[in-house]
Amino acid sequence: MRRFVLISVPYLWLLLLFLIPFIIVLKISLSDTALSIPPYAPALDWAEGIGAFLGQLDFENFVWLTEDDLYWKAYLSSLWIALVSTAFTLLFGYPIAYGMARAPEEWRPTLMMLVILPFWTSFLIRVYAWMGILSNEGFLNQLLLWLGIVDTPLTILNTNTAVYIGIVYTYLPFMILPIYAALDRLDGSLIEAAEDLGCSRLLAFWLVTIPLSRNGIVAGCFLVFIPALGEFVIPSLLGGSGTLMIGKVLWEEFFSNRDWPVASAVAVVLLLILVIPIVLFQRNQQKQAEAEQ
């Protein structure tokens, strides 16, 4: 009984916070738009029964997503921005994690605290701070002008560049922490053995350190890519009208156009896209747990 209760807790959590909301969204996506509150007409009528519902069931809203190029362009743009942001986050995060793992033992808690410290401040406040930094009269342009690097202020805010900066800054700790955990467990004698066998430090790093930290790299990439794909706040505040991400489209459909059925169809497709990296991440975690055993 104790075992059953213990196992049932996460399944109950998924049922209440994932499966039931997903079923509600899926039901709305199969409904028709209506001028009412809420602004949709459910296709499911319990009085007519499941058979009548299945008979009149159509996927008009999902077909509409394929006919309007706005939606598939938003999906592709979101995938590209998430992939590029993940690559930049890995590029900056790995050296930081490596430096933390090679730092003296007494300094590691302090370095860990510095990585986690931004989470003590509201996410929204941090994004607004970047608006002030990246604006034409912001700190970054003032510094570049003072150093003589540029003659006129750079236009960074309201561009995709600002979106990349915001995503990389926001999700950098999610890349650093799993890589640091993998590097912290790395046996230093393996690198010494590689160097004794004729490898240079760079070659030993490439042949020993990188492969042994692969699980941390994979985990960090998934932890950054999955939330970045559906990001809404950062592209809305830092991006401009040319920044097309599915999170912004979803917001516009729900709150500006009040087209809940189409917005729900967009959300269902986005969730199905996210299921793929989530499943791959879970398989990677399972393989890592089996390897440690």
- Of 3.40.50.300, 3.40.309.10, 1.10.760.10, 1.10.3720.10, the CATH number of 65-292 is 1.10.3720.10
Quick one: tokens of 226?
């999955």
Predicted pLDDT at 49: 58
Q: Mean pLDDT, the chain, as a whole number? A: 87
How many C-beta neighbours within 10 Å does residue 218 have? 20
Residue 32's H or E segment, with its range, is strand 32-33
pLDDT digits (tens, 9 = 90+) for 161-212: 999 999 999 999 999 999 999 999 888 888 888 888 888 888 888 988 999 8
- Are the C-beta atoms of residues 27 and 42 closer than 8 Å to each other? yes
Predicted pLDDT at 293: 63
Fill in the amino acid letter for 91.
L
What is the spatial distance between Cα 33 and Cα 258, in angstroms, rounded to a whole number? 9
Predicted pLDDT at 43: 66
Residue 31's nearest CA partner among 51, 56, 55, 52 is 56
How many C-beta neighbours within 10 Å does residue 191 have? 18
- Are the C-beta atoms of residues 40 and 33 closer than 8 Å to each other? yes
* Percent of the chain at pLDDT exceeding 70: 93
What is the spatial distance between Cα 235 and Cα 231, in angstroms, rounded to a whole number? 7
Domain ranges of the chain: 1-58, 65-292
What is the distance, to the nearest Å, from the Cα of residue 255 to the centroid of all Cα atoms in its chain?
A: 23
What is the distance, to the nearest Å, from the Cα of residue 119 to the centroid of all Cα atoms in its chain?
A: 16
